[in-house]
Amino acid sequence: MVDASDAQRISRLTPLSDVLTSFDLSIGPVAPRQETLAKAVGLTLAADAVIAEGRPKIALALRDGYAVRSDTTLDASSYAPAPLDAAVRVDTGDAMPEGPDAVAMLDAVQIRDGKAEALAPTAPGDGVLLPDTDTTAHLKMRLAGARLRHIDIALLGMLGIERVMVRQPRVRIVCTGSSDIIRGAASLIGMAIESESGIAVTDHVELEAALTDDGEDAVVVIGGTGSGTNDKSVKTLARVGHVQFHGIGITPGETTALGFAGSRPVLLLPGRIDAALAGWLTVGRRMLARLAFRLIEDQPFTAELARKIASPLGLAEVIPVRRRLGRVEPCAQGYLSMQALARAEGWLLVPADSEGYAAGTRVVVRPWP
């Protein structure tokens, strides 16, 4: 007969806020390492990604057309073409020749009898990418603590950065049983760790061995946190290390426990998949974020627009936005510079049949890829 007095007991449920506050004081970041840019997508930056030089270094054409002096096109029309003393054919990305300050569209210039004529006015700077517009010298394109997105990898690669400093916690996952539920919960938590810049180590090992092996930065245990006859995870941690909390004020997931094996945090999740998931979402993600030294990034959200967006009819427009005092505001429209893309926290789509959105409109913000 099993002695009931030997069962694991929860003396009190600790408020979730107290647990999370304790995390900030007791869990430190893992050591940074250098990684090639191509392998760093999804990882957390351990140092700012800084651009040494401004880009572009010289003025470039932003569209195919003719490089012209805008002041010679002021009164031009199809009925009264304006003669051009200089009209140099350029393609997108070409260096601007000396003298011209704009690129007229192809159909805004005609060549007649070997001479160029403007058929419409072109404003100063139209169709031109000025020096240091994409990035200025010493610009921090992405800050330490941010996860590298696919767009960050592309932009940094274009700007000549080949390696970055990152943090990527290694987390050992231990199953205390062989049921399909426990295995499924372990698989789910492992995928969650991998999707949030961690490495999930899932090869089979006994709990005590995992707690005494310092090869990983943290341990997540699935199952054995309740008061059942075979529940011994919390007692094992108490014997090998230290139990800081057993019983957290969340539902489901009340039997979630947290402690340390040496300096490594150990999260013990219930063996029920919904309870394990609740414990991970409320506690585990915060633990992983502290190890990687980053803020938790939310998924798509709705927010109020801080200022009006005017968009052309007939074209669906992608607008990068960033948070500002609880609302979102556009980072740029038309030409989207690299620094605008780096500052953006998401994007919204203005449909082709809309002229935009008024300030105060609630919009759906999607994450960058």
Backbone φ and ψ for 117, nearest 5 degrees, come out as -135, 140
Fold of 301-365: Beta-clip (2.40.340)
* Top-tier CATH class for 60-129: mainly beta
* Average pLDDT of span 244-251: 93
Please report the pLDDT score of residue 300 as a whole number: 83
Which residues does residue 115 pair with via DSSP β-bridges, in sequence order? Answer: 112
CA dist 66 and 72 (Å) reads 13
Average the pLDDT over each of 4-13, 106-115, 161-170, 252-261 and give the range with the smallest value.
4-13
Q: In angstroms, how far is the first alpha carbon of the chain from the final one?
A: 57
The tens digit of pLDDT for each residue in 42-83 reads 999 999 999 999 999 999 999 999 999 999 999 999 999 999
pLDDT in the model for residue 359: 96
At residue 343, the 3 state secondary structure works out as helix
Q: For residues 304 and 200, what is the distance between their CA atoms, to the nearest angstrom?
A: 37
Q: Does domain 35-56+134-166 have CATH number 3.90.105.10?
A: yes
Instruction: Return the domain boundaries, the chain.
Output: 4-30+168-292, 35-56+134-166, 60-129, 301-365
Q: What does the pLDDT read at residue 229?
A: 83
Q: Kindly report the pTM of this predicted structure.
A: 0.80
pLDDT at 115 over 90: yes
Neighbour count for residue 118 (Cβ, 10 Å): 27
Q: For the segment 181-220, what is each residue's pLDDT rounded down to a tens digit?
A: 899 999 999 999 999 889 999 988 899 999 999 899 999 9
* DSSP E strands, 47-157: 49-51, 60-61, 65-68, 82-83, 87-90, 102-105, 109-112, 115-118, 128-129, 139-142
Number of Cα atoms under 13 Å in the Cβ half of residue 231: 23
- Within 13 Å, how many C-alpha atoms sit on residue 15's CB side? 3
pLDDT digits (tens, 9 = 90+) for 82-99: 999 889 999 999 999 999
**What pLDDT is attached to residue 298?**
66
Res. 6 pLDDT band, cuts 50 70 90: low
Q: What confidence tier does 314 reach under pLDDT thresholds 50, 70, 90?
A: confident
Question: Is a pLDDT exceeding 90 seen at residue 338?
Answer: no
The partner residues of 93 in beta bridges, in order of sequence, read: none
- What letter does residue 280 receive in the DSSP assignment? I
**pLDDT higher at 114 or 199:** 199
Angstrom distance (rounded) from CA 282 to CA 248: 10
**How far, in Å, CA of 272 to CA of 278, rounded?**
10
**CA angle, 230 as apex, 224 and 231 as ends, to 5°?**
25
Q: Does domain 4-30+168-292 have CATH number 3.40.980.10?
A: yes
Instruction: Check pLDDT > 90 for residue 316.
Output: no
Among residues of the chain, what percentage have pLDDT more than 90? Answer: 75
Res. 355 pLDDT band, cuts 50 70 90? very high
> Concatenated DSSP letters for 121-140?
---TTTTEE-TTSSB-TTEE
- What ranges make up the beta strands (E) of 276-326? 301-304, 309-310, 317-324
5: pLDDT strictly greater than 60: no
Find all residues with CB under 8 Å of 203, minimum gap 6, and list them: none
User: In angstroms, what is the C-alpha Rg of the chain?
Assistant: 29
Mean pLDDT of the chain: 92
* Crossing angle (nearest 10°) for helices 285-292 and 16-26: 20
Across the range 330-334, mean pLDDT stands at 90
- Identify the weakest region by mean pLDDT among 89-93, 199-203, 293-297, 317-321: 293-297
Answer yes or no: is pLDDT of 296 > 80: no
d(CA 49, CA 40): 12
Does 2 have pLDDT greater than 70?
no
Nearest to 285 by CA among 310, 265, 313: 265
Confidence of residue 25 (pLDDT cuts 50, 70, 90): confident
Q: Distance between CA atoms of 343 and 331, rounded to whole angstroms?
A: 7
Give the pLDDT band of residue 39 (cuts 50, 70, 90): very high
Structure confidence at residue 297 as a pLDDT band (50, 70, 90): low
Q: Which residues pair with 34 in a beta bridge?
A: 165
Coil, strand or helix at 33:
strand
- Residue 359 is given by DSSP the state T
In the chain, the largest separation of any two C-alpha atoms, in whole Å, equals 108
Confidence (pLDDT) at 203: 81
pLDDT for position 1: 42
* CA–CA distance, 245 with 259 (Å, rounded to integer): 7
Please say whether the beta carbons of 33 and 165 come within 8 A: yes
CA–CA distance, 49 with 133 (Å, rounded to integer): 18
pLDDT of residue 4: 53
